[in-house]
Amino acid sequence: MRNDKEIIKFLKRPESSEEGYHSLLQLFSYSFYKFDVIKNNYECDAVFHDFLLKNIFHNKTFFLFLHSSDEKDIMPYLKKMIRNFLINLRNKTIRKGTDLSLDETLNDDSNDTFADMLKNERVSHELIFEAKSILSIFLNTLTEKNKRILCQYLYSKEYQFISGINRDAFDKAVERIKKKVREIVEQNKLSFDSIKVFFDYIYVSEVCDKMRLDNGDTDEK
């Protein structure tokens, strides 16, 4: 029988719980064998160890989450990590790329609001944590000009964040920024769901709205 408490103990201190290792392997195997393309091309143990190495032990974002979150939030987060890892492996195997492209994420027309997301506290906590992780990494790699270009691209209200740039240069800059976000998500083993939260809520509020306030702009007429 799977023991979630031992799994968490193993994640925090791998040498402290052999039972946790086997319980985590059991959890991973349950998802692994749902993907025909994967199980027909790989050995479960080998893929599991690759997951541990890349997504658990060498993943700073997960390490921070693991040691800053309530235990009740860790297992849902871990299950989603396993699913995302296996989906990415499946898609690479059949040479179709990732399930959800950045453009699809940015152009999502769903009517979900931030309040709707917060109804599921676990989901919102995980996604917000990941989205803020993207932000902290992203801002260190982005010039002030590109920060403004991204705000201009995302902002729904009429407001000019940048001037003196032609449309072609603007579009090329946006594509470079999108590529950078993809790299951050893939390198740090974050979920593509967190991209939508990052663009729709975190970046706009943490960067674009602050730029407006610094310029003395408000929505008051």
Select the more confidently predicted residue: 217 or 187: 187
User: Rounded to the nearest 5°, which phi and psi values hold at 90?
Assistant: -60, -45
- pLDDT band per the 50, 70, 90 thresholds, residue 110: very low
CB 69 within 8 A of CB 12: no
% of the chain surpassing 90 pLDDT: 9
Angstrom distance (rounded) from CA 148 to CA 146:
5
User: Phi/psi zone of residue 98: left (φ > 0), alpha (ψ -120 to 50 degrees), beta?
Assistant: beta
**Whole-number mean pLDDT of the chain?**
75
CB 48 within 8 A of CB 28: yes
* Region 196-221 average pLDDT: 69
Residue-level pLDDT at 123 = 47
pLDDT > 70? residue 83: yes
Angstrom distance (rounded) from CA 49 to CA 39:
15
* Per-residue model confidence as pLDDT tens digits over 37-63: 788 888 898 889 888 888 888 777 788
- At a CB cut-off of 8 Å and minimum separation 6, what does 1 contact? none
Which range scores top for mean pLDDT: 7-11, 104-108, 152-156? 7-11
Select the more confidently predicted residue: 189 or 169: 169
* Region 151-164 average pLDDT: 77
pLDDT > 70? residue 171: yes
Residue-level pLDDT at 118 = 38
